[in-house]
Amino acid sequence: MFDVNKLREDFPILEREINGCPLVYLDNAATTQKPKQVIEAIVDYYENHNANVHRGIHTLSEEATSMVENARLKIARFIGSNDEKEIIFVRNASEAINLVMYSWGEKNIGKGDEVVVSLMEHHSNLVTWQMLCQKKGAVLRVVDVDGEGEIRMSGGEMREFQGVRVMSLEQALGAKTKLVAMTAVSNVLGTVSPLEKIVKMVRTKTKAKILIDGSQSVPVMKTEVGKMGVDWLVFSGHKMLGPTGIGVLWGRREILEEMPPFLYGGDMIGQVELGKSEWNELPWKFEAGTPNMAGMVGLGAAVDYLESLGMNEVWKHEQELVAYALEKIKGKAEVYGTGDYKKRAGVITFNLPGIHAHDTAQVLDGFGIAIRSGQHCGAPVVESLGEMAVARASVYVYNTRAEIDYLIDKLVEVKKVFRKR
């Protein structure tokens, strides 16, 4: 196991004070802090290597191209792909999902076809498919979650929620299912989806394609796309110590080859004439225009950092903190989602009785604690809890048990503030 206290020295922002108190950063499901190794890699790129990639034969351009393509190779290996051309750089996971929707969905989803999502999807993996289904006359099927916030795999009655029938995965799948798009880990509840069981059921009952939102899983779990049995995986760099503005779409090469470009412009072309154009090969046919070179280099550095820790150790640390937090918060707040830490990533979602989540977050900020409050881009699942907003504390590699203790102590202070009113 890595030394957390030693590791914290790599994160300059953790030396800050907020409102006169040491910063306790527990908003990692929204975005993570950056180690100096990532910051220095970005600065080095701009100070010593900055040039446009793929288009120049001068030294700086060749250096920049080499750095970008080396980052692509690192990321491919990090998620278990043997082919770096399966790695498409995008701005974030939301753009990656939209790329699949516009490039594959527009061509392959038609009237009467069905797309399956779960109740606990991030808006980017829900609204995107809502819009496609409305445009194409397709049907959006929604898989329910049980009282523990876990995917309902089979059995049970269908129910109405927000005017839509929600059901088990088994009930949602059928001959018309063309796509199943699900999260690997809920950003609202922290629930770890049983991907192996989901993929097996989908492959047994349908010929549908499978897209997995790995935004909350890739940063904390060892990922091996070759063994997952899915068709696309999306994730964002900023949730795994990397910079903002850079994300990844991984797809099976044979599927990516068949998909038309999503955006048009420079670098994605092979040949251009006034009357026609031909597209570049993978992965560049999906990367139109000048890319975020510094972001790519920064994400490569983030991958190096995580690999130096070991992803199994990252997950072990996450699980230990979640188990500790779930035990410490008992009786002090209403916690949503599964109580089994083995089925939960580093997200603790809660409310204090009679106190709005925003008020909880604001008072905690006065003690230097950064959590998130609201619907967390997951309005349907939050409202299914009977709430309009919830508080969320989320941990990562640099968080400690002492910080969990501090959070729990200050929840008592939050209650005192509102008891006086």
Active site residue 377: yes
One of 3.40.640.10, 3.90.650.10, 3.30.1440.10, 3.40.50.10280 is the CATH number of 43-307, namely 3.40.640.10
Q: For residue 122, is pLDDT > 80?
A: yes
Same topology, domains 4-26+310-416 and 43-307? Answer is no
User: What pLDDT score does 258 carry?
Assistant: 97
CA dihedral 404, 406, 407, 409 (to 10 degrees): 120
CB 241 within 8 A of CB 309: no
What was the pLDDT predicted at 180? 98
Average pLDDT score over residue span 244-251: 98
Q: What CATH class is the domain 4-26+310-416?
A: alpha beta
- Averaged confidence pLDDT in the chain: 97
Residue-wise pLDDT for 22-38, tens only, equals 999 999 999 999 999 99
What is the per-residue burial (b if ≥16 Cβ within 10 Å, else e) of 45-70? beeebebebbeeeeeebebbbebbbe
Average of pLDDT values for 182-200?
98
Domain range summary for the chain, segments of one domain joined by +: 4-26+310-416, 43-307
pLDDT-based confidence at 166, cuts 50/70/90?
Answer: very high
Given the residues 269, 377, 385, 408, select the one marked as catalytic: 377
Q: Quick check: 332 pLDDT over 90?
A: yes
pLDDT digits (tens, 9 = 90+) for 99-108: 999 999 999 9
Residue 31's pLDDT is: 98
* Residue 1 banded pLDDT, cuts 50, 70, 90: confident
**Predicted pLDDT of residue 419:** 82
Tell me the pairing of strands 232-236 and 24-25: unpaired
Distances (CA, A) of 31 to 45, 163, 237, 248, 264: 23, 33, 9, 16, 30
91 pLDDT band (50/70/90 cuts)?
very high
Going by pLDDT thresholds of 50, 70 and 90, the confidence category of residue 156 is confident
Q: What whole-number distance in Å separates Cα of residue 417 and Cα of residue 204?
A: 55
Distance CA 333, CA 46 (A): 47
The amino acid at residue 255 is I
Q: How far is CA 159 from CA 40, 171, 228, 250, 357, in A?
A: 52, 12, 30, 34, 28
Separation between Cα atoms, residue 104 and residue 127, nearest integer Å:
16
Average pLDDT over residues 182-210: 98
pLDDT computed for residue 12 by the predictor: 98
Residue that has been written with the tokens 């420079």 in this structure = 266
* pLDDT of residue 281 exceeding 70: yes
Tell me what pLDDT residue 421 has. Answer: 58
Lowest mean pLDDT, pick from 70-84, 234-248, 380-394, 406-420: 406-420
Whether residue 55 has pLDDT greater than 90: no
Query: Is residue 227's pLDDT more than 70?
Result: yes
Confidence band of 126 (pLDDT split at 50, 70, 90)? very high
For residue 17, the model assigns a pLDDT of 98
Indicate the pLDDT class of residue 182, thresholds 50, 70 and 90: very high
Report pLDDT for 420.
62
What value does the mean pLDDT take over residues 64-76?
Answer: 98
CA 287 → CA 52, 300, 377, distances in Å?
A: 13, 17, 27
Residue 311 scores a pLDDT above 80: yes
Any idea what DSSP says for residue 103? I
- Give the separation between CA 221 and CA 230, rounded to whole angstroms: 16
